[in-house]
Amino acid sequence: MDLDINTKRAAQKVSASLVSLVSRTGSEPFFMDFGTIIGSEEVDGTHFSTILTSASLLRSPPESDAILDDIKIDVYLSDGKLSEGQVFAYDFHYNIATIKIKTELALPSAALRFLDDSISVDPSAILESSTALRFLDDSILVDPSAILESSQLCPHSDLFKLCPGDMVVAVGRHFDDHCDLMAAPGEFSLDVFKFDCKELFRATCQITKCGIGGPLINLYGEVIGVNFYDSKCTPFLPINIAAKCLEHFKKNGRFCRPWLGMEMTNLYAENLGILEKIIQKFPNISKGVFVEEVIEGSPAESGGICSGDVIVQCGNKDVQSFLEFYGMIMEKTGESLELVVLRETSGQRLQITLKASETSRDKFYRWPLPEECEVHVDRVRW
C-alpha cells in the first residue's frame, strides 16, 4: 500500500514498542498476533517489559475460557530478536492479556492516550471550517517526532478527542526474519457490526487475523486501542477500558467486569429521527448516553431503565460520553448507582437507582474467529 507521510510518521513513533507473538504447544504454532510494550521495570539489574495483547493468543480451543498447560510464548522484538514470554494476566471477557519478558536492556514503552468520545448534539455547535487560501509547501519531514499539530487534543486535558471520520492507523510486523513494520490506515467509524462486546469501537482499517492484539494509534503515534478482527473492519477496544481493567487487576488481583444489562451508545451516534425527538423534548441537552436496549431480568430493568432513555448524570456528575460512563460504573461494581435519565416518551427527567453487578462467567463475551483464517507463521501479510 502506498502510505501517506502522516501514516508513516505515526507508525515509526510506536514501532520500537511493537512486537510479534507466537504461542506454541510443543513445537507447533498455535496462534500468532501482535502486541505493544506498555511498561517496563528493573529488578536487581534485570529488565522486565509488559506487553499488552489479545487473550486469543492463549485460548484453547479459541471458544474456550482456558489456556493450555504447556503453552509457550515466543516474542519477536522490533530488531528481530527472540525472547521468551511469560503469561502474567488474561481476561477472556474483554479478550486482553499481558505477557512479561526479560531483556538485557530496557525497552521503550508506547505512549498511551485515553479517548474522549464526547461530542455535542447542540445544533448551534457547528464546527468551524477554514476556507482561507494557502500557498503550498511540498517539503515534508520524515522525522517521527515531527507529528502534525492537531486540534484533537482537548485543551487542558490528557484526553484525545476522537470523532467519526478521524484518521487512525493499525500497525503490526511481518512474521519473518526482517520483522518489517506494517501499517493500515483508516477512519474511526460509527457503522454497526456484530460483536458480543458492546464496548468495542470500529475503524475502517483493513488487517488480517494476525493483526489481533496489535495497537490502533492516532497520528501522534499514541496507542488509543487494542485491535481485533472482522472481515469488513477493525473493531478495537478503547485503551481506556483495557488500562482500567489492568489497573484493577494490579490493585486487586482480579479483573473487574461491570454489568448493567443494557446496550448503550453515545447520544450523538443515534439516528437523526430519534435525535430530533429527544432534542425537541429536552432542548438543553447536548451530551449523554443513549440506552438502545434493556435486557430482561437485568439490573437496568430492575432499576426502571427503559430503551430510549438518555443517561445524563451518574452520582451527581454529568455524563458526557459512553467511555466516561463506563469508567464511572467500573469504579462502582457491586455498589448502587444514582442516575438521572431523560425519557423522551414522557418528557420526564427521572432519578433512578440501580446496582452495578459484576459479569458472571456465563455472561462472558464470545470472540469467534473467522473459520477461513489459519495460522501460517512463515507468510503473514496485510
Count of residues in the chain: 382
Specify the pLDDT at position 123: 80
**Is the CB of residue 51 less than 8 Å from the CB of residue 87?**
no
Q: What angle do CA 61, 66, 69 make, to 5 degrees?
A: 95
Distance CA 266, CA 119 (A): 8
Q: How far is CA 50 from the centre of its chain?
A: 18
Specify the pLDDT at position 76: 92
Mean pLDDT to the nearest integer, 98-125: 91
Model confidence at 102: pLDDT above 60: yes
Mean pLDDT to the nearest integer, 269-277: 94
Model confidence at 45: pLDDT above 60: yes
Model confidence at 379: pLDDT above 90: no
Mean pLDDT to the nearest integer, 266-280: 94
Mean pLDDT to the nearest integer, 212-231: 96
Handedness of CA 1, 202, 209, 107 (dihedral sign): positive
Got the DSSP string for 328-367?
A: HHHTTTTSEEEEEEEETTTTEEEEEEEE-EE--GGGPPP-
Cell of 297: 431480568
**Is the CB of residue 330 less than 8 Å from the CB of residue 344?**
no
381 burial (CB, 10 Å; 0-12 / 13-18 / 19+) is exposed
For the question of whether the overall pTM of this predicted structure is more than 0.75, the answer is yes
Specify the pLDDT at position 178: 67
Specify the pLDDT at position 30: 83
pLDDT tens, residue by residue, 238-264:
999 999 999 999 988 989 899 999 999
Distance CA 146, CA 134 (A): 21
pLDDT tens, residue by residue, 321-363:
999 999 999 888 889 999 999 999 999 999 999 999 999 888 8
Specify the pLDDT at position 14: 96
Higher pLDDT: 220 or 59? It is 220
Find the helix or strand (DSSP H, E) in which 183 lies.
Answer: strand 181-189
pLDDT tens, residue by residue, 23-35:
988 878 889 999 9
Got the DSSP string for 93-106?
A: TTTEEEEEEEESSP
Distance CA 175, CA 196 (A): 29
Specify the pLDDT at position 54: 96
Cell of 292: 438502545
Over pLDDT 90: what percentage of the chain? Answer: 64
Q: Is 382 helix (H, G, I), strand (E, B) or coil?
A: coil
Q: DSSP E strands: which ranges in 3-135?
A: 18-25, 28-43, 46-54, 71-76, 82-91, 96-103, 115-116
Specify the pLDDT at position 154: 47
pLDDT tens, residue by residue, 143-202:
655 554 444 444 445 899 999 999 999 999 887 666 789 999 999 998 877 788 989 999
Mean pLDDT to the nearest integer, 48-77: 86
Contacts 24+ apart (CB under 8 A), 132-140: 140/5
Q: Is 67 helix (H, G, I), strand (E, B) or coil?
A: strand
Specify the pLDDT at position 130: 41
Specify the pLDDT at position 150: 43
Mean pLDDT to the nearest integer, 204-211: 91
Specify the pLDDT at position 194: 76
Specify the pLDDT at position 155: 41
